[in-house]
A and B are shown apart, each in its own frame.
Chain A
Amino acid sequence: MMDCSTAKSKIFPFVDGELTPELCDQLEAHLARCGACRRLVDLEVAFRETYVERLRPDPAPEPVRERVATLLRGLGEGRRAGRGWRRVERLAVCAGAVLLLVVGLGAGIALQSYTGTRTSLAELADAAVEQHQKLVRDLLPPDIKDVSPKVAEEWFKKRLAFNVSLPELKTERLHFLGGRISHLREIEVAASSIASTGTTSHSSSSRRRPTVSSG
Chain B
Amino acid sequence: MDSRSEFQDLVHKHLNSLYSYALVLARQDAEDLLQESLVRAWEAFHAFDRSQSFKPWVFTIMRNAQIDRQRRRRAHPADAPLGDEKEAEPVVESPLCSIPLAPEDILLRREAVEQVREAIRHLPPLLREIVELRDIEGLSYHEIATILSRPVGTVMSRLYRGRNLLRTYLVEPPQRPDGKEIGVRNDGL
* Interface residues, chain A, with chain B CB atoms under 8 Å away: 4-9, 11-13, 16, 18, 40, 43-44, 46-47, 50-52, 54-60, 64-65, 67-69, 71-72, 75-76, 79, 122-123, 126-127, 130-131, 134, 138-141, 182-183, 185-186
Query: Is B117 part of the binding interface, using a Cβ–Cβ cutoff of 8 Å?
Result: yes
| In the bound complex, CA of A9 to CA of B4 (Å) | 45
Interface pair B16/A18, CB less than 8 Å apart: no
| In the bound complex, CA of A65 to CA of B15 (Å) | 8
Interface pair B160/A12, CB less than 8 Å apart: yes
Interface pair A50/B107, CB less than 8 Å apart: yes
Which residues of A lie under 8 Å from residue B86 when comparing CB positions? none
Q: Is the interface of B mostly helix, strand, loop or mixed?
A: helix
**Residue ID in chain B nearest A6 by CB atoms:** B93
Counted as pairs of residues, one from A and one from B, with CB atoms less than 8 Å apart, the total is: 135
Interface pair A141/B19, CB less than 8 Å apart: no
Interface pair A75/B4, CB less than 8 Å apart: yes
| In the bound complex, CA of A198 to CA of B96 (Å) | 70
Interface pair B107/A8, CB less than 8 Å apart: no
| In the bound complex, CA of A57 to CA of B121 (Å) | 11
Known: A9-B96, A11-B96, A13-B141. A68 touches B103 (CB 8 A): no
Interface pair A140/B32, CB less than 8 Å apart: yes
Interface-centre pick from B8, B32, B96, B111 (highest chain A CB count, 10 A): B96
**Residue ID in chain B nearest A17 by CB atoms:** B140
* Interface residues, chain B, with chain A CB atoms under 8 Å away: 4, 7-8, 11-12, 15-21, 23, 28-29, 31-32, 34-36, 38-40, 42-43, 69, 72-74, 76, 92-97, 102-104, 106-107, 111, 113, 116-117, 120, 132, 134-137, 140-141, 156, 159-160, 163
| In the bound complex, CA of A67 to CA of B147 (Å) | 26
| In the bound complex, CA of A138 to CA of B40 (Å) | 10
A18 CB to nearest B CB, Å: 5
Which residues of A lie under 8 Å from residue B97 when comparing CB positions? 8
| In the bound complex, CA of A49 to CA of B39 (Å) | 37
Which residues of A lie under 8 Å from residue B94 when comparing CB positions? 9
Known: A43-B102, A55-B117, A60-B19. A141 touches B39 (CB 8 A): yes
10 nearest CB pairs, A to B: A8-B95, A57-B20, A60-B19, A43-B103, A8-B96, A47-B103, A58-B20, A57-B16, A51-B116, A57-B17
Interface pair A75/B93, CB less than 8 Å apart: no
Not counting A122-B74, A126-B74, A134-B32, a sample of 9 additional A-B residue pairs whose C-beta atoms are within 8 angstroms of each other reads A9-B93, A9-B96, A18-B156, A44-B96, A47-B107, A54-B113, A59-B16, A71-B39, A126-B72
B36 CB to nearest A CB, Å: 5
B27 CB to nearest A CB, Å: 11
- Contact for B28 among A50, A60, A185, CB less than 8 A: A185
| In the bound complex, CA of A55 to CA of B20 (Å) | 12
- Contact for B38 among A18, A55, A71, CB less than 8 A: A71
B68 CB to nearest A CB, Å: 10
Interface pair A140/B35, CB less than 8 Å apart: yes
Which residues of B lie under 8 Å from residue A131 when comparing CB positions? 32
Known: A9-B96, A58-B20, A71-B38. A182 touches B32 (CB 8 A): yes
Which residues of B lie under 8 Å from residue A5 when comparing CB positions? 93, 95
**Residue ID in chain A nearest B102 by CB atoms:** A43
- Contact for B140 among A18, A46, A141, A183, CB less than 8 A: A18
Which residues of A lie under 8 Å from residue B136 when comparing CB positions? 55-57
Which residues of B lie under 8 Å from residue A60 when comparing CB positions? 15-16, 18-20
Which residues of A lie under 8 Å from residue B23 when comparing CB positions? 58
Interface pair A68/B32, CB less than 8 Å apart: no
| In the bound complex, CA of A54 to CA of B112 (Å) | 10
Interface pair B163/A12, CB less than 8 Å apart: yes
